[in-house]
Amino acid sequence: MLLNYSRRLTGKVRTRSANAELACFLSFVAGAINAGGFLAVQQYTSHMSGIVSHMSDMVALGDVSTLLWGFGALLAFIAGSASTSVIINFARHRYLQSEYALPILIEAGALMFFGLLDGIKWDFDWLWTSLTVATLCYIMGLQNAIITDISQYALRSTHITGTVTDIGIELGKAFYWNRASRQDPSIQPVQSNKKKFKLLLEVLVLFFIGGVIGAYGFKTFGFVFTCAVASILVYLAAGPIIDDIKSLWAVFNEPPVILKQSEDSNQVPTTAEMAEAEELAEVQEQQEEVNERGLSDDEVARPGI
């Protein structure tokens, strides 16, 4: 039952309801990671707007080290998105069920690595901070690309700017009075998409709830809390990945297929076949000798007696 739900959320066959539920799950996880990351490095890593703006400030101030730090975070986010794209297309070309589950599983592993980094702080603070930020940005880029691909660029799970903008658009449509369309039937009335509006609100609220729980959990439990969040991602990815493992195991354990050799083939005989042919020829010669001389079978079998 649990694996079936996992297959529904992250399997290859997609439905609108599954896309919406997966977006809500990942939005909650993104909020938790973003808040926990802020407590770790005092920097939000779920969106690149702030980081790029920070980079531009550092150019004006001449702070090269911080500029390079922001550039590394930007590259890590891009690398995460690129990784998701490579994994999804690789799985599609090989007809795997886990095209969306594999990036989620990698995200779980990267999240565990982030928690481990918090547990083993180094003497080199600049290196620890840079690697932590890069890991968080990679996670966010990885996850954001998953929902972007699934929703056909309609949703984002790691930052809320676009979500809040879409909420405002749908509210504007809902409150529009449509006076012109009532006066002129040829004008199409403006209508709000209630299902989309509801989903956008759910994503927004779950991101906020995830942030509250993430901040509290990371502050209170530290690395153990990252294990709990990673376990959610592992569960989401479990069903399709188990199915692919079973399929690969079945392929590797199939009995070999033996093709029957055609009579007119010119295949070179093996050593065993040549020895068998020589033995048959020798038996035929002995039989011919029996027929010519009238010898008994015992005399032929014991020529020296």
Could you read off the pLDDT of 46-105 as tens digits, one per residue? Answer: 778 888 888 899 899 888 888 888 899 899 999 999 999 999 999 999 899 999 999 999
Same domain for 284 and 221?
A: no
pLDDT for residue 294 = 59
Same domain for 212 and 297?
A: no
Residue from 165, 161, 157 nearest 141 by CA = 157
Could you read off the pLDDT of 210-256 as tens digits, one per residue? Answer: 999 999 998 888 888 888 999 999 999 999 999 999 988 888 887 76
Asked if 23 and 14 count as a contact pair (C-beta separation under 8 A), the reply is no
Residue 280 lies in domain: 271-301
Q: Is residue 236 in some structural domain?
A: yes
pLDDT for residue 22 = 93
Same domain for 86 and 226?
A: yes
Q: Is residue 261 in some structural domain?
A: no
Q: Is residue 45 in some structural domain?
A: yes
Asked if pLDDT for residue 186 goes beyond 90, the answer is no
Q: Is residue 11 in some structural domain?
A: yes
Q: How far apart are the first and last CA of the chain?
A: 82
Q: Is residue 73 in some structural domain?
A: yes
| Ordered alpha helix ranges (H), the chain | 2-10, 16-41, 49-61, 64-93, 101-119, 125-150, 161-175, 179-183, 194-221, 223-252, 271-293, 297-301
Same domain for 67 and 141?
A: yes
Could you read off the pLDDT of 143-174 as tens digits, one per residue? Answer: 999 988 888 777 777 778 888 999 999 999 99
pLDDT band at 9 (very low <50, low <70, confident <90, very high): very high
Q: Is residue 265 in some structural domain?
A: no
Q: How many residues does this entry show for the chain?
A: 305
Could you read off the pLDDT of 16-34 as tens digits, one per residue? Answer: 899 999 999 999 999 998 8
pLDDT for residue 268 = 60
pLDDT for residue 96 = 92
Same domain for 113 and 241?
A: yes
Number of domains in the chain: 2
Q: Is residue 263 in some structural domain?
A: no
Please compute the mean of the pLDDT values over residues 189-208 and round it to a whole number: 92
Which string of DSSP letters, residue by residue, matches 220-266? HHTHHHHHHHHHHHHHHHHHHHHHHHHHHHHHHTSPPPPPPPPTT--
Residue from 30, 56, 55, 57 nearest 44 by CA = 30
For the full predicted model, state whether its pTM sits above 0.85.
no
Same domain for 278 and 248?
A: no
Count of alpha carbons within 13 angstroms of residue 285, beta-carbon side: 6
Asked if 194 and 202 count as a contact pair (C-beta separation under 8 A), the reply is no
Could you read off the pLDDT of 251-303 as tens digits, one per residue? Answer: 888 776 666 555 555 566 666 667 677 777 777 777 777 666 655 445 444 44
